[in-house]
């Protein structure tokens, strides 16, 4: 099966062709935002903590710069920060990248004018590129859930599990994240490991996360492990977490990667990301995901910079209450007698269309929040 993507020099394929305008430190955010106001076509990313030493931030931002959906990069720094914009631009492989420095390039107004000129040139270059057929096996798809409800584990997540199996069947890479949401299923995920060693690795990851949560939060650990589940009908932590990991379908787990690390294997992969949706999606995007499928029960509106996010509603009342935010209604499994399988295939087919250029609700709404894991985050 094929989609239409932008071929990159390193053999990967983007599903978008964005110009990323990114600050290396929050002090340069004003210039980045001004560029965004002048040229709404560019994708702005602000909020990097480049002033101090921030190893994770560096990995996330350089990972996003090298995401196949990014066609060109303009990095803007203040000048006195430790994470230089030249270093960010220099990290870009196989794509045009330039750096500006506010303190060197004439202050905010002049740097904004120079930035707009560079971004305009990038826009003209990128407009010449055309989509071409690419095998679905070239896709890396992140799976996210946020604002879950009692229906998430009944409708949206099992349906996404079918879509995940379809992607793996095509030879693509699927990333399951949110380690905290796996607590209680270490023994089940262990069996899913592609080898006994991989099973051990998965068990250690999930049990380690549980230990950390209990060490840091003590009696309040339940807030992140099992928030308000009993009223919704969930009888054990295992049952709750099974509802989350069902998004990953039924195939073996081939690899465990750390936060914002690129998988080296295809098929189903676990990434150690926090339960905070935006930070989790940053990990996927930095790990090379060109597409994210996101289930929600309460109604999350979050997209992500440069990576289209397909929103799957778990229930029809929310889908109808937030019509411009949801791409697919998995509540139809409950209300219209559709099967999990049918809706799963709909998610797969729609997300392939999105990969070929169809815009998602979050893209239309220009919802592209950015944030990443800093310090202790579950």
Partner 1 sequence: MKSNALRINDNDNVAIAAEVIKQGDPVVVNGELVCKTTEDIEPGHKVALFPIANGEIVFRYGEPIVQVIRDISQGEWVHVHNTRPVPGDLQE
Q: Which residues bind partner 1 (CB under 8 A)?
A: 149-151, 154-155, 158, 183-184, 187-188, 210, 221-222, 225-226, 230, 232-239, 242-243, 246, 333-334, 337, 339-340
Q: Indicate the residue among 188 and 322 with the shorter CB distance to partner 1.
A: 188
Nearer to partner 1, 189 or 260 (CB): 189
Shortest distance in whole angstroms from residue 298 CB to partner 1: 14
Nearer to partner 1, 122 or 319 (CB): 319
Which of 110, 223 has the CB closer to partner 1?
A: 223
CB atoms within 10 A of CB 36: 19
In the complex, minimum distance from the CB of residue 164 to partner 1, in angstroms, rounded to a whole number: 14
Q: Output 50 or 199, the one with its CB closest to partner 1.
A: 199
- What is the sign, positive or negative, of the torsion defined by CA atoms of 325, 327, 331, 337? positive
Min separation Cβ 149 and partner 1, Å: 8
Least Å distance between CB 140 and partner 1?
25
Q: Nearest distance from residue 337's CB to partner 1, in Å?
A: 6
Other beta carbons less than 10 A from residue 153's beta carbon: 27
CA distances from 11 to 174, 242, 352 (A): 19, 36, 19
| Smallest gap from residue 89 Cβ to partner 1 (A) | 46
Torsion of CA 124, 356, 147, 269, to 10 degrees: -110
Asked whether 132 and 8 are in contact (CB, 8 A), the reply is no
Residue among 37 and 187 whose Cβ is closer to partner 1? 187
């Amino acid at each position: 099966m094929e989609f239409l993507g932008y071929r990159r020099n390193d053999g990967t394929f983007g599903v978008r062709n964005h110009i990323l305008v990114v600050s290396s430190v929050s002090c340069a955010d004003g210039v980045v935002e001004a560029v965004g106001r002048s040229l709404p076509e560019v994708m702005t990313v602000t909020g990097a903590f480049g002033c101090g030493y921030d190893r994770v931030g560096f990995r996330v931002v350089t990972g996003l710069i090298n995401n196949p959906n990014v066609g060109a990069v303009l990095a803007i720094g203040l000048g006195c920060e430790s994470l230089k914009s030249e270093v960010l631009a220099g990290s870009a492989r196989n794509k045009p990248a330039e750096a500006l420095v506010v303190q060197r390039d004439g202050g905010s107004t002049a740097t904004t004018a120079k930035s707009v000129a560079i971004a305009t040139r990038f826009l003209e270059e990128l407009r010449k590129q055309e989509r071409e057929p690419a095998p679905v096996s070239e896709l890396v798809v992140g799976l996210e859930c946020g604002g879950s409800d009692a229906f998430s584990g009944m409708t949206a997540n099992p349906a996404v599990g079918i879509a995940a199996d379809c992607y793996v069947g095509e030879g693509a890479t699927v990333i399951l994240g949110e380690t905290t949401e796996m607590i209680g299923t270490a023994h089940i995920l262990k069996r899913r490991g592609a080898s006994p060693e991989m099973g051990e690795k998965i068990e250690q990851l999930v049990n380690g996360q549980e230990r950390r949560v209990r060490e840091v939060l003590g009696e309040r650990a339940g807030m992140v492990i099992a928030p308000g589940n009993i009223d919704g009908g969930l009888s054990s932590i295992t049952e709750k977490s099974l509802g989350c990991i069902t998004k990953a379908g039924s195939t073996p787990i081939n690899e465990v990667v750390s936060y914002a690390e690129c998988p080296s294997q295809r098929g189903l992969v676990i990434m150690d990301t926090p339960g905070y949706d935006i930070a989790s999606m940053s990990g996927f995007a930095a790990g090379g995901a060109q597409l994210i499928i996101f289930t929600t029960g309460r109604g999350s509106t979050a997209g992500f910079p440069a990576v289209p996010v397909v929103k799957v509603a778990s229930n029809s009342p929310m889908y109808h209450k937030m019509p411009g935010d949801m791409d697919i209604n998995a509540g139809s499994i409950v209300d219209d007698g559709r099967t999990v399988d049918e809706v799963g295939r709909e998610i797969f087919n729609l997300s392939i269309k999105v990969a070929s250029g169809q815009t998602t609700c979050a893209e239309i709404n220009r919802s592209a929040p950015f944030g990443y894991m800093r310090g202790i985050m579950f």
